[in-house]
Amino acid sequence: MERATPSSENAGSGPGGGLSAVDGPRTSLRELALLFLRLGTTAFGGPAAHIAMMRDEVVRRRQWLTDAEYLDLLGATNLIPGPNSTEMAIHVGWARRRWPGLLVAGLSFIVPATLITGALAWAYVRFGAVPQVTWLLYGVKPVILAVIVQAIWGLAPQAARSWPLRALGSAAVAASALGVNELVVLFGAGAVLGAGRAVLTRGKGASLGVVPFLPAAGASLAASAVTLPGLFWVFAKTGAVLFGSGYVLLAFLRADLVERLHWMTESQLIDAIAVGQVTPGPVFTSATFIGYLLAGPGGALVATAGIFLPAFVFVALSGPLVPRLRASRLAGAILDGVNVASLALMAVVTAQLGKAAVVDVPTALIALLGALLLFRFRVNSAWIVLAGGAAGALFHLVGMA
C-alpha cells in the first residue's frame, strides 16, 4: 500500500491540529478516486464502519489528516443531515483538493454501491426476490467490529483529552444507551461545553464566529403518478432533512412512498432498505433500488442523484466553516463537545453491532483475529474485510453459516 509523506499540517499545534490539510503535499485526483472507489466496494457495516475505515486510510496510513482534523470533520458531519459516511468522504476530498476533490471523492464512494445495488434491483425485478448473502455478513460483521474498535481507540485520546471531556463522553454514552435521540446527545454535549466556555470567557469578547446551518423541511407531497421529477423531489427532500440511521431512512420513505404516494408496498420498501444494509458503501443507495423498481434505470439514476445531492451542497457550505469554528474559542469548545459525543455514539453503535456480529465461537474467533491483524500487524482494513467475507463463504460451504 502506498503511503504518503507526512504533510505539514501534522506539525500543527492546538486542538484543531494547526494548519489546513491543503497546506501539505498535493493529493492527486487519481489517488482520491482510487481510494474511495475501493472503499465504496469494500466498506460494509454501515456509517460507523465506513468512518472507521476512512480514518484508517486517511489518518493512519496516508497521514492526509491528523486525528484532531478528522474529528473536527466528523463533528461537522454529524451536525448536518444526510449520509454521514458519504459526507466524510466528501469532506476529505474538499480538504485535499477543494472543489475537484469534493466531487471526485464523493462520487467515487457512491458509484460502486450504486452499481451493485442497481444489479440487485434488476435481479429483484427479474426474479422477484433479493439474493441471499447472509453467509457473507456472517464473516464480515465480526471484522467490521474490530475495525470500528480500532478507530475509536485511535480517536479517543484526542476527543477525550481532558477530564471534563471524558466525563462528557461518558454521559453521552449513557444517554445514547438509554435511548436519548442522537441529535439531543450531539447538540447537548456541544451546548454544555459552549456554555462552560462562555462563562469562563465572559467579558473577554468571545464570539461564536459562525451560525450553524440547519435546513428546513420541504413541503408536503400529494399522491400522484410516478414521474422522474417527482421521484427526484422525494429523494432530494429526504436527503436534505434526514438525520440518523437506515431505520430513520425507512421511516421517512415509508411516509412518502407507501402511505402518501402509494408508489410501493411495505414489503418492497423493507427489501430496498435491506439491500442498502447488506451491500458495501452508503446505506442511502437504497434509493437506487427503489428508483429502479419504480421507473427502471432512469428512475435509479434520478433517485440516487436526488438523495445524495444535498450532501454535496451541505459539505460545500459547511466545509469552509470548520477552520473558523476551530479558530473561535467558544465555537471550538462547542465542536469539542460534539466531537466527544460523536465518538460516544460510535461506541454505543459498536456495542450494539457486537451483539449482532459475535453470535458464536467462530465469529468470536474471526473478531479476535481481525483485531490482532489491525492492532498488532497494522494490516489494511479493506483486506481484513475481504478476508472476513472469505471466512463467511468457507463457513457457509461447510454448513456453519
The x, y and z cell numbers of residue 58, run together, are: 486517511
Q: Which pLDDT does position 3 carry in this prediction? A: 39
Residues whose CB falls within 8 Å of the CB of residue 392, separated by 6 or more in sequence, listed in order: 135, 136, 137, 138, 139, 140, 401
CA-wise closest residue to 112 among 42, 49, 58: 42
CA–CA dist 131, 124 (Å, integer): 8
**Chain position carrying cell 474559542:** 329
- The domain locations on the chain are 24-161+355-397
Cell 496510513 maps to which residue? 61
Output the pLDDT for position 387: 87
Which cell numbers hold the place of 123? 435481479
Cα dist from 116 to 219, 274, 276, whole Å: 32, 13, 10
Q: Is the pTM of this model over 0.85?
A: no
What is the structure's pLDDT at 132? Answer: 67
pLDDT value of residue 245 = 56
Going by C-alpha positions, the residue among 69, 102, 129, 181 that lies closest to residue 293 is 129
Residue 299's pLDDT is 96
pLDDT tens, position by position, 200-235: 776 554 444 444 444 444 444 455 788 999 999 999
> Which amino acid makes up residue 187?
F
Please return the burial class of 193, using the count of CB atoms within 10 Å of its CB with bins 0-12, 13-18 and 19+.
buried
* pLDDT of the residue at 133: 64
pLDDT for 249: 79
pLDDT beneath 70: ranges in the chain: 1-25, 129-133, 202-223, 244-248, 401
